[in-house]
């Protein structure tokens, strides 16, 4: 049985708030995993360009720098009902691979996965629901996990939240009930060290680990950006949740490479350069140059073709209320 960490400090050698980055040794990835990582990367970069050129209205939050988390976790967690958040494109694409449907949703074009009503932050599809309301998904995931347990479904309920979302009281109500009822719930924390423009250490007392421990909930730290290493580390932990072992909090020490939404990054250039050095994209390209180069070019081209095709579509038509 894995011990619950009562200790508030990160494990030896881990710098709070950052993934290991440049010291990570990446295993050579399966083509499908690398393609998915790269496709999400180019999808998100394309969104920022489309905003800059006025093709997208409203707002959007990209998962640049964090793509490896849903790519590593989605196969491990399946079958699952996933509750995603405001930074949810990677979560969606890792589950469905549906670039065109999501881009059409965000740009309000025909073929949009939710008819263009949900946009970037509110996407609903079989086994997947995202919300821009911080913490809401965790509460809903507890209800779904209760349903799974009482109907003997093998599925997990999964909620992705950020570090800043630990400021929402509903997270603690959810942890309490999930622990009390020993529910099949995995909370994946994408701890990128920042919430909008507020560094986590200016807003959070104590640690995520200690907060989980207060409810007797298991907690795992992940500081690798290698998809293979992450799955190896977490496979048994996730299997235990599925086997009735109660909820699990998985805390990724990750980094947000892009702005909070678009163009609102106040971090100094030197800090952003350091993030790029630690980025999985940079480190994988250095360690597996041949594998990376060919597939990166292919992913970039695929996203460009889909973007062109989706933007040429008719706008979504909404029925008038009258
Ligand atoms: C209930 C609620 N309060 C405030 C906001 C505005 N808001 C959107 S994202 C965000 C910061 C979230 O930070 P974090 O949980 O660390 O996620 P990250 O953006 O870093 O992925 C805030 C305050 C919101 N969406 N919902
Ligand atoms: Mg954050």
| Rounded Cα distance, 189 and 138, in Å | 11
Largest Cα–Cα separation, the chain: 63
> Domain coordinates of the chain in residue numbers?
25-262+270-311
DSSP E strand stretches across the chain: 80-84, 124-125, 128-130, 156-162, 185-191, 194-195, 198-199, 218-222, 248-253
CATH superfamily for 25-262+270-311 is Thiamin diphosphate (ThDP)-binding fold, Pyr/PP domains (3.40.50.970)
Q: Where residue 207 falls among pLDDT bands split at 50, 70, 90?
A: very high
91 lines ligand 1 (CB under 6 A): no
Q: How far is the CA of 165 from the centre of ligand 1 (A)?
A: 6
225 lines ligand 1 (CB under 6 A): no
Considering the chain, what is the average pLDDT of its residues?
93
| Rounded Cα distance, 241 and 174, in Å | 16
Q: How far is the CA of 135 from the centre of ligand 1 (A)?
A: 9
Ligand nearest to the CA of 120: 1
Residue 192 and residue 254 in contact, taking contact as beta carbons nearer than 8 Å:
yes
pLDDT digits (tens, 9 = 90+) for 159-203: 999 999 999 999 999 999 999 999 999 999 999 999 999 999 899
b/e map of 149-158 (b: 16 or more CB within 10 Å)? beeeeebbbb
pLDDT digits (tens, 9 = 90+) for 17-71: 567 777 899 999 999 999 999 999 999 999 999 999 999 988 999 999 999 999 9
Tokens of 231: 């799955």
Ligand nearest to the CA of 160: 1
99 lines ligand 1 (CB under 6 A): no
Q: What share of the chain is helix, strand, coil (3-state, %, to 5)?
A: 50, 15, 40
């Amino acid at each position: 049985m894995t011990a619950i960490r009562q200790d508030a400090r990160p494990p030896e050698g881990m710098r709070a708030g950052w993934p290991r980055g440049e010291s990570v040794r990446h295993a050579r990835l399966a083509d499908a995993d690398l393609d998915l990582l790269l496709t999400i990367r180019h999808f998100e970069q394309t969104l920022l360009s489309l905003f800059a050129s006025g093709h997208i209205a409203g707002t959007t939050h990209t998962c640049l720098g964090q793509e490896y988390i849903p790519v590593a976790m989605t196969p491990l967690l399946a079958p699952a009902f996933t509750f995603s958040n405001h930074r949810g494109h990677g979560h969606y694409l890792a589950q469905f691979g549906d670039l065109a449907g999501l881009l059409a949703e965000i740009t309000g074009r025909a073929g949009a996965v939710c008819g263009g009503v949900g946009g970037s932050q509110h996407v609903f599809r079989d086994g997947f629901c995202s919300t821009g309301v911080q913490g809401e998904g965790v509460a809903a995931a507890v209800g779904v996990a209760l349903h799974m347990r009482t109907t003997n479904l093998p599925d997990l309920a999964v909620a992705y939240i950020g570090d800043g979302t630990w400021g929402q009281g509903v997270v603690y109500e959810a942890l309490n009930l999930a622990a009390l009822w020993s529910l099949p719930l995995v909370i994946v924390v994408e701890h990128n060290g920042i919430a909008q423009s507020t560094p986590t250490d200016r807003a959070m007392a104590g640690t995520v680990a200690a907060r989980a421990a207060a409810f007797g909930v298991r907690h795992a730290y992940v500081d690798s950006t290698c998809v293979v290493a992450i799955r190896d580390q977490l496979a048994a932990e996730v299997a235990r949740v599925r086997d009735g072992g109660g909820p699990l909090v998985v805390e990724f020490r990750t980094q947000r490479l892009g702005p909070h939404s678009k163009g609102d990054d106040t971090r100094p250039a030197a800090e952003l350069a350091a993030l790029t050095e630690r980025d999985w994209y940079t480190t994988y390209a250095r360690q597996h140059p041949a594998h990376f180069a060919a597939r990166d070019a292919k992913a970039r081209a695929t996203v460009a073709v889909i973007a062109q095709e989706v933007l040429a579509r008719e706008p979504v038509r909404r029925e008038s209320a009258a």
